[in-house]
Amino acid sequence: MSTKNTNTPIIILMGPPGSGKGTQAKKLAAEFGLKHISTGDLLRALDKDTAADPGDKEALAAMKRGELVADWLIYKLAFQTIRAAFKNNQGVVLDGAIRTVEQAGEYMKFFSDMSIIDQVAVFVLDLSDEEALERLTKRRVCTQCGELISWFQETKNLTACTTCGGTLAPRADDAPAVVKERLKEQGNAALAPVLAYFEQHTTVKHLDGRPTIDKVWEALAKEYAAVFGN
């Protein structure tokens, strides 16, 4: 199989909420020197930023209802972060940054305009909506450092963050009613047309998202090496 042979890959990680995109994106970033770009994290940082543009902050109400945030805000936050990474000759791993066919088209246009479209590959973490629901309602977030404690750990027995000792709580948008809304908008039915779009335009590799973090990582690192020859 031919490899993409680039020092600045663009990895698009796809999968329903709770499929482990954040965890695996961090591993890819650490192992291959990529910039991890999570639009969810960028939006939560914007929410906390008291100096941010009020118009940008108003658009965050949708996130709190479990709905998708307006495209213009996603492009504004993501594209400036991607440009900055490429200025430093750093590839990127996009985590949750593309959730609709419209967004997929706009990102591909952006990559094409930057002449970096050949560096794109999509990795999909496959997980059913039922398994996603179970994982999301079980996981916890640290109220101090923002670390997500995944369903793999016995979250119900943990009283403090394993990274900083901060207090743990369910993430606001992981409440069961909000999770159901997110899975309606961002679950497998919503992902299908986006994946179909990417199948037509770039390299797409599927991975089983059900095994342990380490097992998924092993498979992902192997696929990455096969696609990028590292």
Q: How far apart are CA 151 and CA 213, in angstroms?
A: 10
| Closer residue to ligand AMP (CB): 63 or 216 | 63
182 is catalytic: yes
Residue 117, interface with ligand AMP (CB under 6 A)?
Answer: no
The separation between CA 138 and the C-alpha centre of its own chain, rounded to angstroms, equals 19
171 is catalytic: yes
Q: For ligand AMP, which stretch binds (CB under 6 A), given 81-89, 98-106, 139-147, 153-161?
A: 98-106
Q: 93: closest CA among 8, 16, 158, 162?
A: 8
| Closer residue to ligand AMP (CB): 124 or 228 | 124
21 is catalytic: yes
Taking CB under 6 A as the criterion, the residue among 16, 96, 187, 209 binding ligand AMP is 96
Residue 105, interface with ligand AMP (CB under 6 A)?
Answer: no
Residue 133, interface with ligand AMP (CB under 6 A)?
Answer: no
Residue 20, interface with ligand AMP (CB under 6 A)?
Answer: no
| Closer residue to ligand AMP (CB): 103 or 203 | 103
99 is catalytic: yes
- How many residues bind ligand AMP, per CB under 6 A? 18
List the interface residues with ligand AMP, window 35-94 (CB under 6 A). Answer: 39-40, 43, 62-63, 66-69, 74
User: In which region does residue 89 sit, left (phi positive, over 0), alpha (psi from -120 to 50) or beta (all else)?
Assistant: left
- Matching residue, tokens 């698009």: 12
List the interface residues with ligand AMP, window 175-214 (CB under 6 A). Answer: 182
Measuring CA to CA, how many Å separate 190 from each of 18, 51, 168, 180, 186? 15, 34, 30, 13, 5
The tokens describing 74, both together, are 């996603």
Q: CB-based contacts of 208: which residues, under 8 Å, 6+ apart?
A: 126, 216, 219
Q: How far apart are CA 28 and CA 92, in angstroms?
A: 9
| Closer residue to ligand AMP (CB): 104 or 161 | 104
The tokens describing 189, both together, are 């039915």
30, burial (CB in 10 Å: exposed 0-12, middle 13-18, buried 19+): exposed
- Matching residue, tokens 């916890």: 140
205 is catalytic: no
Residue 173, interface with ligand AMP (CB under 6 A)?
Answer: yes
Instruction: Compute the least distance from the CB of residue 103 to ligand AMP, in Å.
Output: 6
Supply the residues annotated as catalytic.
21, 99, 139, 171, 182
**Interacting residue ranges for ligand AMP, rule: CB under 6 A:** 17, 39-40, 43, 62-63, 66-69, 74, 96-99, 103, 173, 182
